Structure 1
Amino acid sequence: MNGSQPATDLTTVLAGDHRELDRLCTELELGQGSPENRKDLADHLIAELVRHAVAEESFLDGDGALAEADDLMRQLEGAGPQETRFERLLGGLIRAVRKHVHDEGPAAVRQVRLTCSPERRAELGKEVLAVRDAAATVPHPDLSDRVPQVDQLWPGPGFVDRARDALRRAADSPG
């Protein structure tokens, strides 16, 4: 064995998340594309960040950059891409994500490594990946009679809460 962690090890999953979040931030910082395309990319960043936060939440306290990012994501939900506050909020979100990726994220990965056996890390990593796969198809119960299922986990008012709720429900559901 070459000493590397399997792809399903939770530390590998979290580190991969950090790389993807960093990549999305870089893409947004380049400032290219129409306002609508930037809004779509910002929504993608939010979706990835919510998934990541749910996976990492038991290993971090709630007072760090992810808590700051949560507030900014909620504000961004209601900001149109043409509004002046959109870029200001997006810049704040990018800074919070970068702070997490570079400061808090590695500490969370170390915490996982210290507190979980390799077997448990593999189990948790598989669970996180399964929850992510399931989340895209789990409808939000409050919306199921009013909104098409395909739209229930995508941007709009309450997106952050719906995504987080869906991920938690999928994690809590048996096998």
Structure 2
Amino acid sequence: MSTDDLASVLTEDHLVLSRICTELETDHTSPENRREVADHLIAQLVRHEVAEEPHLPLGPALCGVDDLMRRLEGLGPQEARFERLLATLIHAVRQHLREAGPAVTGLRNRCPADRLKELGQEVLKARQAADSLPHPAIADRTPPDALLRTGPGFVDRVRAALTAVR
């Protein structure tokens, strides 16, 4: 089985998301570190959604999760709402991981291996290109190092960078 076919890419995403959730659930270090890990979870979740959306329904667990991530963007890690919203996000991610396993298996069963490989390579290329691609609407006004800086607009900037190369 290929490690760069779409099903393998999505499965690897699920493992990464699970590890980040576990880190947030078990590691209660400094608020700044929790903010960094939460931002990492948000970025990974957005890149996973962009890869999965065209091929599989995201399911009820991730409905409304973009709004939740945007609300988290504007909060400081010391705020009580930050931890409540983060716990809600982790719960949604965990639910998605439980729901998505059978869907990925179904994808493997109904899609030819060569097509899965082609789709997986498209996703991986888009991710590589997104690392350096600015959002078209702000590229001429925003310094490049600020494009993927966390904070307000982070979810939208990550999503825009990933979808612009499709």
Please state which band the TM-score falls in when normalised by the shorter chain: over 0.9
Give the structure-2-normalised TM-score: 0.93
RMSD of aligned alpha carbons: 1.5
Residue 134 (structure 1) aligns with: 129
Consecutive unaligned residues of structure 1, counting only runs of 5 or more, are none
Matched, 1:148 2:119: no
Displacement of 1:62 in angstroms is 5.3
Give the structure-1-normalised TM-score: 0.88
Point out 4+ residue stretches in structure 1 off by more than 4 angstroms. none
Distance 1:82 1:52, change over 3 A: same
Worse-matched range after superposition: 57-66 or 162-171: 57-66
- Look up the equivalent residue of 2:33 and give its one-letter code: N
Displacement of 1:169 in angstroms is 0.9
Worse-matched range after superposition: 140-149 or 67-76: 140-149
Residue 167 (structure 1) aligns with: 162
- Look up the equivalent residue of 1:84 and give its one-letter code: A
Contact residue 14 and residue 52 of structure 1 kept, 8 A: yes
Residue 70 (structure 2) aligns with: 74
Give me the identity figure in percent: 54
Consecutive unaligned residues of structure 2, counting only runs of 5 or more, are none
Distance 1:63 1:8, change over 3 A: closer
Q: Secondary structure at the match of 2:149?
A: coil
